Amino acid sequence: MSDTDAADRLRSLVRDVADFPSPGIVFKDITPLLADPRGLATAVDAMTAPWVDQDVDMVVGIEARGFILGAPVARALGAGFVPARKQGKLPWATTAESYGLEYGDDVLELHVDALVADHRVVIIDDVLATGGTASAAGRLVASTGALLVGFGFLIELAFLGGRDRLGGHHVESVIVESADDEPLIERGVV
């Protein structure tokens, strides 16, 4: 399968849901992709490839779809996995960062002992939209003294400018959508 065919197949497995979770939002539903074994494998392989030679120690997955994609990426990299959860969901001492979403505000937390200063970390999530959640996760990683190697996303909504909020860190996105909703491929890894 060519890179273009693979990208087209992945994009075809993502369902757009209008006005969810609030009016004016087009939600990128990846559950059809997750239910397709070949699609899921292709997505995980594409999200892993950029980090193979980066000596990653830990993958931070952002709640909730970042857990689904981040855990197999961590396994493929031989790294550990750390969940970044919404406030009040982790059972022990945490550090927190607040952030704004395209449809509201929230707080993201990590366990205080999840990362240490010598960890090399990649943050994984399904969608980069405005960058608020990913930026908060990046600040959480920085607060531990760990080195943020970069961010990985299945889908980037480039027209929302989220990449600009990530402090110049390395960003890898499998599918990049422009304002006219035409999927573009950023790298030849798909």
In a domain, 44, yes or no: yes
Q: Which domain holds residue 69?
A: 3-184
Of 78, 71, 57, 43, the residue nearest 153 (C-alpha): 43
Q: Residue 158 corresponds to which tokens in the numbers above?
A: 């480039």
Q: Which residues are catalytic?
A: 65, 102
Q: Tell if the pTM clears 0.75, that is, is over it.
A: yes
Which CATH number do you get for residue 74?
A: 3.40.50.2020
Of 134, 126, 188, the residue nearest 161 (C-alpha): 134
Whole-angstrom distance, CA of residue 63 vs CA of residue 42: 21
pLDDT by position in tens, the chain (length 190) = 665 677 788 999 999 999 998 888 899 999 999 999 999 999 999 999 999 999 999 999 999 999 999 999 999 999 999 999 999 999 999 999 998 765 668 999 999 999 999 999 999 999 999 899 999 999 999 999 999 999 999 999 999 999 999 999 999 999 999 876 544 444 333 2
In a domain, 148, yes or no: yes
In a domain, 189, yes or no: no
Match 């120690």 to its residue by tokens: 57
Q: Residue 7 corresponds to which tokens in the numbers above?
A: 């990208």
- Cα three-residue angle 143-149-152, rounded to 5 degrees: 105
Q: Residue 155 corresponds to which tokens in the numbers above?
A: 């889908």
The partner residues of 109 in beta bridges, in order of sequence, read: 85, 96
In a domain, 89, yes or no: yes
Whole-angstrom distance, CA of residue 40 vs CA of residue 34: 5
Domain count across the chain: 1
The residue count of the chain comes to: 190
In a domain, 100, yes or no: yes
Which tens digits make up the pLDDT trace of 49-76? 999 999 999 999 999 999 999 999 999 9
Q: Residue 27 corresponds to which tokens in the numbers above?
A: 């939600």
In a domain, 177, yes or no: yes
**Cβ atoms 159, 179 nearer than 8 A:** yes
Backbone phi, psi, residue 158, to 5°: -60, -30
